[in-house]
Chain A
Amino acid sequence: MSNHRSIASAAQSVRRRGVAQTVSTSRDGAVAVRSANTVPAGNSVSASDDPPATSTVQLRSLALAKSYRKGRVDIPVLRGVELEVRRGEFLAIIGQSGSGKSTLLHLLGTLDAPDAGEVHFDGRRIDNLPCGKRDALRNRRFGMIFQFYHLLPELSALENVLAPAMIASNAWGYYRRRRQYTAEAARLLETVGLGHRLKHRPRELSGGEMQRAAIARALVAGPEVLLADEPTGNLDRATGRDIMQLLRSLNRERKLTIVMVTHDLAIAEQADRVVRLVEGRVERA
């Protein structure tokens, strides 16, 4: 417990410094993230210089189709989406509301199963995996953030961030490594600028803070792909910009693949690539 508290206070001091420098967590934060997740930091400097096009395809959808049943009528939402997401790419999917972009994101993240078509991750088909494997995939390889943050109201910010780690390990395994996990989670929260809010419940946080906590939660298991569903949709412009900066820096510093869904062109344009979804199909730009 004392250990924990010292982390929290350390985090606070870092946060204060961060504010003073007004870096908005980009440089400082990214360094912290890298160290926290022990990703080899080999060519982090050259990361932004590398054109994404040269990277391999990490996530791909083949002729993805999905329809929803409303009463007796099937309403098609996706009608054969072909999409390739390269490793380390920041991809924005833009579309009207109801164009199926959230559904696409859910299919990519194996939260939902397509009616037809396939989803491949690292060259392997994942949409037809058994339940347990898909759960593990969501838990360890994907991170997800949502428009409405979707934090668990009963848990503090820190516990919310710890949730994926708790899900990943059994009670005894978690108990043995709880200090390590807690330290990591605290560091992540500190990175996203919430070092002073570890013990707060979601309802005591502002929208921006909740989204930062959600991002920290998405990162805690060290995922390879971050799926963001309208991450700024519920935030004011300035806060949204902060969040976008955070995502950008994560993408650059960690070479984290990010697939972001939004209806806001201004937000989408901060990504490396923008894909437009019209009437359930990807419109070639």
Chain B
Amino acid sequence: MYKLLLCWRYLSTRYIALASVVSVTLGVATMIVVNSVMSGFAFEMRNRLHGILADLVVEAHSLEGFENPEYYMDEIRRVAGDDIVGMTPTVHVPAMLSFKYGGKYVTRPVTLIGIDPATQSEASDFGKYLQHPENRRRMSFELREGGYDTRDHQAGREAKERSVMELAGWKYRRWHVKLERDREAISGDLDRVPPPDFTVPPEFTAPPDEKVDDTEAGETMVEEVENEHGPSDHGAEVADQDKSAKPPSDPFANRAKDADEVFDPMRETHTGLVLGIALSSFHDSGGDERFLVLPGDDVQLAFPNASVPPGVVTDRFTIVDFYESKMSEYDGSFVFVPIRKLQELRGMIDPQTGVTFVNSIQIKLKDESKGDLVRDKLRKALPMELFNVSTWRDKQGALLAAVQMETAILNILLFLIIAVAGFGILAIFFMIVVEKTRDIGILKALGASGRGIMGIFLAYGLSLGIVGSGVGMVLGLLFVVYINEVAKVLSKITGHEVFDPSIYYFYKIPTIIDPLTVAWIVCGALAIAVLASVLPARRAARLHPVEALRYE
């Protein structure tokens, strides 16, 4: 009892000892924040990776793929049908994407994926990442009239508005083609060039339920065009152009110039294509998103066909939507087209029998955690020399492992901070024991045992640990809960964005508070505080009562 009373009194009268646990507090708070943010990031990343990749992928080793996917899908269903929710065949090929921007062709290496629009969303979260609400509900490779999201639907209200997306769709295509034709009609006679009018005239907008304010849309477009010609935007390409001397020309000009004569871009489109959003846009120096192309524009793709050695196939496609998974690696390289069209172009359909070839089969499982089990089953059932079966974890193992490693190292480092705090407690406790020498003698004279004296100081250490880690826990949790507000305030004070959404693709700092982790951290801090008080407590317990009493 006296232990508790004295321990409490020491705690409430000796504030210097509390100073020694400030580092425990800070250590605990930092550990909680770091762990929450790291696991938030990891979770978010895993989610995205998982959303993009199917649970399980059966892929051919070769670029020409394997024939008759229906047969293999039946085979897979026979082996592991109980665990499977959905399957979709896909064709993957490396490709070159080109489109005209600012009078030049922009070419980018991409991964071209042929998907079955009907079943793709069954096997992965593909549909969720599209920009048109209708496409999210039911994917279609037809160009929509309009109505694309002007805000990032995944980010909530905090996202910056993408006002230019308001134009995207058929309306934009019609206006664009008209502009193009006008330009061609008057080319060669520059004096007769009328002042450019970027207002989308009403005749290009679909008459029913069209809510776009033309004037406003037009103005946005002008702004957009001018901005895109600013020298800062795309360096050397247009740096020489004198903006004031030249009438602002349309950056998307000539896009459809060499189109097929019969093909009327006013009324027709090429095959639909979904473009990774990072391929079509970039972030300017102000952090704003700028689009090089919009849904409605045409692009050109070049990719190898399925013969040996591969020849080059080129074709035109029309962008019908953007794909935004927030994983820059994928947003900057994925291009989706209908699988049938790709198979045709690559010669993956047997002309006599009509048997198709695919590269891989994407499988979604009922229970993702059974991935390894099903994978091993399929590996046994399918011929090894033809197929490689892997889970999404296998595919992104390195990345996930890296994140885990990072978390582990950060935890070790931060725990060292708390360990350092332990030495602070040790030093201060030795001083307190020296200061309390006489009191220890008195207690012994009154019959307190060495064990009891030790108990006082251990309890003292424990309660300091509780105070330190308790305050640390509360601070850490508050910080995690209000982390976005904190980031906002910090960016206001420092003047630059602490957490730049354009870099991380998250509009909020993702956090996950894992109660078990918090409990571990707090227990660890408590253990260190108690361990640090063991030595001084033992010393106090061994003090000779007479010498302690004589101590002045």
A residues in contact (CB < 8 Å) with B: 103, 106, 109, 111-112, 131-132, 135-140, 144, 146, 148, 150-155, 159, 163-164, 166-171, 174-175, 217, 221
| CB pair B1 A217 closer than 8 Å | no
Q: Which chain B residue lies CB-closest to A106?
A: B546
Q: Is B443 an interface residue (CB 8 A)?
A: yes
- Which chain A residues lie closer than 8 Å to B447 at the CB level? 135-140, 164, 167-168, 221
A215 to B441, CA, bound (A): 17
Please judge, given known A-B contacts A169-B1, A171-B1, whether A111 and B438 are in contact too, CB under 8 Å: no
Q: How far is the CB of A222 from chain B (nearest CB, A)?
A: 13
- Which chain A residues lie closer than 8 Å to B444 at the CB level? 111, 135, 138
| CB pair B446 A139 closer than 8 Å | yes
| CB pair A154 B10 closer than 8 Å | yes
A-B contact pairs, 24 of them (CB 8 A): A111-B545, A112-B544, A131-B450, A135-B444, A135-B449, A139-B447, A139-B448, A140-B447, A146-B445, A150-B442, A151-B442, A154-B6, A155-B5, A155-B6, A155-B9, A163-B443, A164-B446, A167-B2, A168-B447, A170-B1, A171-B1, A171-B3, A174-B1, A217-B446
Q: How far is the CB of A156 from chain B (nearest CB, A)?
A: 10
The interface bits of chain B over 431-469 (1 if a CB of A lies within 8 angstroms of the residue's CB, else 0) are 000000011011111111110100000000000000000
| CB pair B9 A150 closer than 8 Å | no
- Which chain B residues lie closer than 8 Å to A163 at the CB level? 2, 443, 446
Q: How far is the CB of B444 from chain A (nearest CB, A)?
A: 7
The 5 closest A-B pairs by CB, nearest first: A139-B447, A154-B9, A166-B2, A174-B1, A166-B1
B residues in contact (CB < 8 Å) with A: 1-6, 9-10, 13, 438-439, 441-450, 452, 544-546, 549, 552
Of A137, A150, A155, A164, the residue contacting B549 (CB under 8 A) is A150
Of B2, B446, B452, the residue contacting A138 (CB under 8 A) is B446
- Which chain B residues lie closer than 8 Å to A144 at the CB level? 445-446
A159 to B8, CA, bound (A): 13
| CB pair B443 A167 closer than 8 Å | yes
Of A154, A217, A221, the residue contacting B13 (CB under 8 A) is A154
| CB pair A150 B445 closer than 8 Å | yes
A31 to B10, CA, bound (A): 37
| CB pair A131 B449 closer than 8 Å | yes
- Which chain B residues lie closer than 8 Å to A166 at the CB level? 1-2, 5
Q: How far is the CB of A198 from chain B (nearest CB, A)?
A: 15
A186 to B1, CA, bound (A): 18
| CB pair A112 B1 closer than 8 Å | no
Among B13, B444, B552: residue with most chain A CB under 10 A: B444
Q: How far is the CB of B547 from chain A (nearest CB, A)?
A: 9
A167 to B453, CA, bound (A): 10
- Which chain B residues lie closer than 8 Å to A137 at the CB level? 447
- Which chain A residues lie closer than 8 Å to B544 at the CB level? 112
Among B2, B438, B546, B549: residue with most chain A CB under 10 A: B2
A43 to B126, CA, bound (A): 101
A167 to B9, CA, bound (A): 16
A169 to B452, CA, bound (A): 11
Q: Which chain A residue lies CB-closest to B552?
A: A148
Q: Which chain B residue lies CB-closest to A218?
A: B446
A132 to B450, CA, bound (A): 9
- Which chain B residues lie closer than 8 Å to A103 at the CB level? 546
Q: How far is the CB of A78 from chain B (nearest CB, A)?
A: 13
A106 to B2, CA, bound (A): 23
